[in-house]
């Protein structure tokens, strides 16, 4: 397959809510969207890098620059035999996984479309529906938190994840658990704690959490192993797992019992599949994380989450939870906490040119 045109758009979509985590706050989703054209077909990839380097070191600007200078030239006008072949030539680019994942996912979509199969099937997925949960912003008050949890429980989400930070943790969780004694509940600290906070983190053991996501620094796998010895709640890693090699290290050190896989954070479906194999061999359950993706990114998430190893509900909630309108059709919507896996070619969703152009703030075209 020879890509003859790449279109890189900057897209801005208003979010229906303010999303507050321990690392920042936003009410607009700004992202890069890549379209790769080859042989009359188009493959799409959504870059999950954010505006600022607060979740990961990559940003919209760094990803745009690396795509333009180092990654798009590897596919433009080149014969690419498979998405894996792109991974091999892109291996000399260190890091910049979100940028790499943008090209890799667009190629996966393109190749699956060329073969006339769904991306889920091309990846080896067998689920026809996936279980989904929801990741809830840090609410301003306990009452607001309880109301928001109630709203999403009523919508059928199979797991509620609360963002936490120092000062908004034990008492907040106590109140939510009291109000909802039997829901599947988790917390995500986005690396906001240290081992000195062990007493606080251990206090969360009282609330029957399914797991605690990324309590400590993103580079501190050994610290998570130490914390795992000190608390009962299972640890799930997000930021710390950038690759299958990281997953192997974390599992070997017993730093986590669960892994959140994000395609962008690990550099594409290929690396996500490698993590899937490492986790399966160790009996570690996975779930698919989210980065407030619009339609293209969400469709890629649903495809990877259709693999059997993704046995816990993910963060891939309904598109309508985030956006009034989405750039693809059909929109990906869950009902009763179950989201159908699209069966059409590629991601199974089609980009709507009109809506996309309304949300596009910048467009760059690269030709051979
Ligand atoms: O840590 O999982 C995270 C969003 C942006 C950056 C990091 C994270 C998140 C979420 C939102 O939790 C998940 C979603 O609804 O897409
Ligand atoms: Mg997380």
Among the listed residues 20, 29, 161, 163, the single catalytic one is 163
Domain contains 59: yes
Domain identity same for 23 and 106: yes
Say how many Å lie between the CA of residue 79 and the centre of ligand 1: 35
Closest CA to 214 of 250, 184, 182: 250
Domain contains 331: yes
| CB contact at 8 A, 179 and 147 | no
Is the Cβ atom of 190 under 6 angstroms away from ligand 1?
A: yes
What pLDDT does residue 100 have?
98
Is the Cβ atom of 246 under 6 angstroms away from ligand 1?
A: no
Beta bridge partners of 287: 260
Domain identity same for 153 and 182: yes
Domain identity same for 228 and 307: yes
CATH number of the domain where residue 147 is located: 3.20.20.120
CA angle in degrees (0–180, nearest 5) for 192-193-194: 140
Domain that holds residue 82: 5-115+353-367
Task: Decide: pTM greater than 0.95.
Answer: yes
Say how many Å lie between the CA of residue 262 and the centre of ligand 2: 9
Domain identity same for 197 and 300: yes
Domain contains 264: yes
Total tally of structural domains belonging to the chain: 2
121 is catalytic: no
Q: Structure tokens of 95?
A: 């890091």
Domain contains 21: yes
Q: pLDDT tens across 157-196, in order?
A: 999 999 999 999 999 999 999 999 999 999 999 999 999 9
What pLDDT does residue 246 have?
98
Choose one of 187, 291, 295 to mutate for the ligand 1 pocket test, by most ligand atoms within 8 angstroms of C-beta. Answer: 291
Q: Whose CA is nearest to atom 5 of ligand 1?
A: 291
Find the mean pLDDT for residues 198-213.
Answer: 98
CATH number of the domain where residue 45 is located: 3.30.390.10
| CB contact at 8 A, 239 and 214 | yes
Domain identity same for 17 and 76: yes
What pLDDT does residue 329 have?
98
Say how far apart CA 354 and CA 361 lie, in whole Å. Answer: 13
Say how many Å lie between the CA of residue 214 and the centre of ligand 1: 12
Ligand nearest to the Cα of 236, by number? 2
**DSSP secondary-structure letter at 70?**
I
Return mean pLDDT, the chain.
97
| CB contact at 8 A, 162 and 185 | yes
| CB contact at 8 A, 62 and 96 | yes
262 is catalytic: yes
Domain identity same for 9 and 96: yes
Say how far apart CA 230 and CA 225 lie, in whole Å. Answer: 9
Confidence band (pLDDT; 50, 70, 90) for 368?
confident
Q: pLDDT tens across 280-335, in order?
A: 999 999 999 999 999 999 999 999 999 999 999 999 999 999 999 999 999 999 99
Q: pLDDT tens across 105-158, in order?
A: 999 999 999 999 999 999 999 999 999 999 999 999 999 999 999 999 999 999
Confidence band (pLDDT; 50, 70, 90) for 271?
very high
The residues, any chain, with a CB within 8 Å of residue 367's CB and separated by 6 or more, are: 4, 5, 76
Say how many Å lie between the CA of residue 26 and the centre of ligand 2: 16
Helix count and strand count (H, E) for the chain = 15, 15
Domain identity same for 220 and 271: yes
Q: In what order do the strands lie in the sheet with 185-188?
A: 134-136, 160-163, 185-188, 212-213, 235-237, 258-261, 286-288
Domain contains 346: no
| 53 C-beta neighbours (distance < 10 Å), count | 13
Beta-sheet pairing, 160-163 with 41-47? unpaired
Whether residue 88 has pLDDT greater than 90:
yes
Which ligand 1 atom is the nearest neighbour of the CA of 290? Answer: 16
Find the mean pLDDT for residues 46-69.
Answer: 97
Domain identity same for 29 and 165: no
Domain contains 215: yes
Q: How far apart are the first and last CA of the chain?
A: 14
Domain identity same for 134 and 205: yes
Domain identity same for 38 and 66: yes
Closest CA to 334 of 344, 346, 345, 322: 322
Domain contains 347: no
Domain identity same for 160 and 305: yes
Q: Whose CA is nearest to atom 9 of ligand 1?
A: 291
Domain identity same for 152 and 235: yes
Domain contains 222: yes
Q: Whose CA is nearest to atom 13 of ligand 1?
A: 290
Choose one of 15, 20, 21 to mutate for the ligand 1 pocket test, by most ligand atoms within 8 angstroms of C-beta. Answer: 21
Find the mean pLDDT for residues 231-255.
Answer: 98
Say how far apart CA 118 and CA 243 lie, in whole Å. Answer: 25
Choose one of 15, 289, 318, 323 to mutate for the ligand 1 pocket test, by most ligand atoms within 8 angstroms of C-beta. Answer: 289
Helices 221-230, 244-252: inter-axial angle, 10-degree rounding = 30
Q: Whose CA is nearest to atom 12 of ligand 1?
A: 135
What pLDDT does residue 45 have?
98
Say how many Å lie between the CA of residue 41 and the centre of ligand 1: 31
């Amino acid at each position: 397959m020879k890509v003859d045109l790449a279109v890189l758009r900057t897209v801005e979509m208003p979010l229906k809510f303010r999303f507050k985590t321990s690392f920042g706050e936003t009410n607009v989703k700004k992202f890069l969207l890549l379209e790769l054209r080859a042989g009359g077909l188009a493959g799409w990839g959504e870059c999950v890098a954010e505006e600022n380097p607060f979740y990961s070191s990559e940003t919209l600007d760094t990803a745009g620059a690396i795509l333009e200078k180092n990654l798009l030239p590897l596919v433009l006008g080149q014969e690419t035999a498979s998405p894996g072949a792109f991974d091999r030539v892109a291996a000399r680019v260190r890091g910049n996984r979100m940028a790499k994942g943008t090209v890799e996912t667009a190629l996966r979509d393109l190749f699956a479309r060329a073969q006339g199969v769904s991306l889920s099937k091309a990846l080896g997925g067998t689920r026809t529906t996936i279980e989904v949960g929801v990741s809830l912003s840090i609410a301003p008050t306990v009452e607001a938190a309880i109301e928001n949890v109630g709203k999403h429980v009523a919508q059928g989400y199979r797991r509620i994840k609360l963002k936490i930070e120092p000062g908004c943790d034990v008492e907040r969780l106590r109140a939510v658990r009291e109000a909802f004694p039997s829901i599947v509940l988790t917390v995500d600290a986005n690396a906001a704690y240290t081992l000195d906070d062990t007493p606080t983190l251990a206090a969360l053991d009282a609330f029957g959490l399914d797991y605690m996501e990324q309590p400590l620094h993103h580079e501190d796998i050994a610290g998570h192993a130490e914390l795992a010895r000190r608390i009962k709640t299972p640890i799930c890693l997000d930021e710390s797992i950038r690759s299958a090699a990281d997953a192997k290290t974390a599992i070997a050190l017993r730093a986590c019992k669960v892994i959140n896989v994000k395609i962008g954070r690990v550099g594409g479906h290929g690396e996500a599949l490698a993590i899937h194999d490492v986790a399966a061999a160790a009996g570690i359950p996975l779930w698919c994380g989210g980065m407030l993706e619009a339609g293209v990114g969400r469709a890629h998430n649903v495809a990877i989450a259709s693999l059997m190893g993704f046995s816990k509900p993910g963060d891939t909630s309904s598109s309508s939870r985030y956006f009034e309108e989405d750039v693809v059709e059909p929109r990906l919507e869950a009902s009763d906490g179950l989201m159908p896996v699209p069966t059409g070619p590629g991601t199974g969703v089609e980009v709507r040119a009109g809506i996309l152009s309304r949300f596009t703030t910048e467009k760059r075209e690269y030709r051979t």
